[in-house]
Amino acid sequence: MSDPRITAFFDEATFTITYLVVDPETSRAVIIDPVLDYDHRGGSLSTRSAQTVLDAAAGQGAKIDYILETHVHADHLSSAPFLKAQTGAQIVIGSGIDKVQRTFAPVFHADDLSLNGAEFDILAADGQVLRFGNQQIEVIHMPGHTPACVAYHIGANVFVGDTLFMPDYGTARCDFPGGDSAALYRSIHKIFALPSETKLWMCHDYKAPGRDHYAWESDVATQREQNVHIHDGVTEADFVAMRQARDKGLAPPVLLLPSVQVNMRAGYFPPVEADGKRYLKIPLSGTIPS
Question: Is the backbone of residue 133 left (phi > 0), alpha (psi -120 to 50) or beta?
Answer: left
Reference 186, options 141, 241, 125, 248; nearest CA is 141
pTM: 0.97
Q: Report the pLDDT value the prediction gives residue 139, as an integer from 0 to 100.
A: 98
Domains and CATH numbers, the chain: 5-263 (3.60.15.10)
pLDDT (0 to 100) of residue 287: 82
pLDDT tens series, the chain, 290 aa? 789 999 999 999 999 999 999 999 999 999 999 999 999 999 999 999 999 999 999 999 999 999 999 999 999 999 999 999 999 999 999 999 999 999 999 999 999 999 999 999 999 999 999 999 999 999 999 999 999 999 999 999 999 999 999 999 999 999 999 999 999 999 999 999 999 999 999 999 999 999 999 999 999 999 999 999 999 999 999 999 999 999 999 999 999 999 999 999 999 999 999 999 999 999 988 887 87
Angle at 257 between CA 252 and CA 262, to 5 degrees: 135
Q: Where on the phi/psi map is residue 61: left (φ > 0), alpha (ψ -120 to 50), or beta?
A: left
